Amino acid sequence: MVKLFLDANILFSASYRENAGLAKLWKLSRIKLVSSDYAIVEAERNLREPHQLQRLKIFIHSLDIITTYNDSLIPNDIKLSAKDRPILAAAIASKANCLITGDRDFEHLFGKKILGVTAVLTPSVYFSNFQ
C-alpha cells in the first residue's frame, strides 16, 4: 500500500470548492492518506466558509493523522522555512512514500527522496506518473 502525506495546501484545495480535482485523492485504491495536526490547523485557518470547513472535516475523517514528529528528523542539508519544517518532519515520521504539496517553498525538493521514504511531488506529477 502506498502512503501519501498531504500538505495543508492540498487539504485546503480539496476542500475549497465542491468537486475539486484534488478530491479524487480520496477515491484512489490501495492508497493510505496521511496528514498532520499541523497541516490540518493551517488548512482550517485559511478556509472561510462553513461548507468548505465541512468538506475538510469529511476529508479529515478518512486520514491517518500524525501528531508526533520532530524537526530533528530532517537532514541538516535540507533547507526549509520554519513553517514548512513540521510538514516534512511529519511526512518523514509517518514513513510516507510521497509528500504531496503544491507549495513552492518545497520546489527545490520536488522529485527528491529524503531518507529513502519521502519523494516530494506536486499533485499533477503524482497523477501523471503514478495513476
Count: domains in the chain: 1
Q: How confident is the model at residue 100 (pLDDT cuts 50, 70, 90)?
A: very high
- Which candidate, 31, 7, 20, places its Cα nearest to that of 105? 7
User: How is residue 74 annotated by DSSP?
Assistant: S
Distances (CA, A) of 30 to 10, 79, 90: 19, 32, 21
Give the CATH number of the domain where residue 45 resides. 3.40.50.1010
- Mean pLDDT confidence for 50-54: 97
Q: Calculate mean pLDDT across residues 41-66.
A: 96
Q: Dihedral (C-alpha) 29, 64, 80, 41: value to the nearest 10 degrees?
A: 120
> Which positions ≥6 away from 21 have C-beta within 8 Å?
none
Chain segment 8-35, per-residue pLDDT in tens: 999 999 999 998 989 999 998 899 999 9
Structural domain boundaries, residue 43: 2-130
- Matching residue, cell 508526533: 68
